[in-house]
Amino acid sequence: MKYISTFFLLCIPALAVFAQKSLLQSGPMLGYTHMAEAMLWVQTKSAAEVQFVYWEKEMPSEKRHTGVYQTNKKEGFTAHLVADQVEPGKHYEYQLLINKQPIKFDYPTTFQTLPLWQWRTDPPPFKMAIGSCFYVNETKYDRPGKPYGGDYRIFKAIHEQRPDAMLWLGDNTYLREVDFYSRTGYVHRYTHTRSLPELQPLLASTHHYAIWDDHDYGPNDSDRSSVYKDMSKEVFQQFWANPTYGLPGKEGITTFFQWADMDFFLLDNRTFRKPNDRITGKQVLLGSDQMEWLVDALVASHAPFKFVAMGGQFLNPNAKFERYSKLCPEERSYLLRRIEEEGIKNVVFLTGDVHHSEMSKLVLGNGSTVYDLTVSPFTSGVYKADGGNPLLEEGTVVNERNFGILEFSGPREERVMTIRIFNSDGEEKWTKEIVAED
């Protein structure tokens, strides 16, 4: 009897750890990072106390702790916890605690802070993954017929590239009819997508930033008429960990971040847009406040490349679907004029939505070049490029599920961006190198 009692006593800690891991729904995920702090995210299945312990890779004995947070149903049992005892340019390992019990994973859980390179060295090289249109099948709520989603192994292929950061370009989940008009539906859909097993290793060691498009904002082609847009924003905030959400005092999710010497402007193409089918009234997609902020911010930027992320294609002049040239040609022309007249160099639009990938290039009257790199889809259905794009860069169309990797290298005055597009199996489809000074 003594030996049996000892056996059960030894089993109690293991059972406690197992019980806490069973509370984990999705994550952990890395959100934004900077020199002085990094954001860590996690979701539990029910109310639980969560916290992160972290340490420099070279100094495992010096443990630091985030705050403690009690997850709750209203927030989808999600938690955002800040690691704020950090130094610039360091790599940290971390551990998740649920109800004070450490959770173990069979893949790396690491984050990094941005280096203080200014006035000291050349900017560091880095890699960023990009893409859009992430659909995860759920048979009981999907439309009948052939499943729309698939090739989930794409996230293993992205993870194997070991990107420092990842920028999600909209349609990062697909709300279904059952989800559209309730917080319960929104939270269910975001939770179902975020919980995909193939996604978890990528979430745990790559820093993630996101914009939205119609399918993670509301119904197909949704716009400013939605009475649920405040709720859409709240759920988006709960499941992503951007630095900010919306311009000061304004609606929407517009934000900005910098990685090394590159600037990324994340736009909201849904909150302010006029309904696609409305005939009267001024054409609006971004709206004047967001547009003027973008022009100001681009002028103020000293980045070698300036990246503007938005859900739908910007440059393609073939006026079909939800392209800017069809829905809001005046606003599109205004922004291009401002880029030219202000002498803004090396603007690169990063877009999704159209379920194939391609790159467009426009040389303005003053010789400045504007690019539009469209990367789509991750796992949703593929729609082949329709042709008719006079700005298309030859050899860049990809009509299969795919993702992009942007690599940055070179000294401060000679920065080079290398674009690579890969399919779901990690096979390279094309690559292109662009020198900032060119």
The structural domains of the chain, ordered by start, are: 25-112 (2.60.40.380), 126-435 (3.60.21.70)
Q: CA–CA separation, 236 vs 327, rounded Å?
A: 25
- Residue 27's H or E segment, with its range, is strand 24-33
Non-local CB neighbours of 17 within 8 Å, separated by 6+ positions: 101, 102, 103, 104
| Tokens, residue 346 | 């090396």
At residue 438 the predicted structure's pLDDT band, cuts being 50, 70 and 90, is confident
Contact (CB, 8 A) for 201 and 208: no
Q: In the β-sheet with 428-435, what is the strand arrangement from edge to edge?
A: 78-83, 38-44, 24-33, 207-211, 165-169, 126-131, 402-409, 416-423, 428-435
Q: CA–CA separation, 305 vs 379, rounded Å?
A: 28
**How much is the pLDDT for 2?**
57
On the CB side of 184, CA atoms within 13 Å amount to 1
Nearest to 254 by CA among 263, 242, 262: 242
Contact (CB, 8 A) for 88 and 104: no
Contact (CB, 8 A) for 98 and 44: yes
pLDDT of residue 373 exceeding 70:
yes
List pLDDT tens digits, range 114-134.
999 999 999 999 999 999 999
List pLDDT tens digits, range 338-368.
999 999 999 999 999 999 999 999 999 999 9
Query: Would you list the DSSP string of 355-379?
Result: SSBEEEEEE-TTS-EEEEEE---SS
Reported pTM: 0.96
At residue 21 the predicted structure's pLDDT band, cuts being 50, 70 and 90, is confident
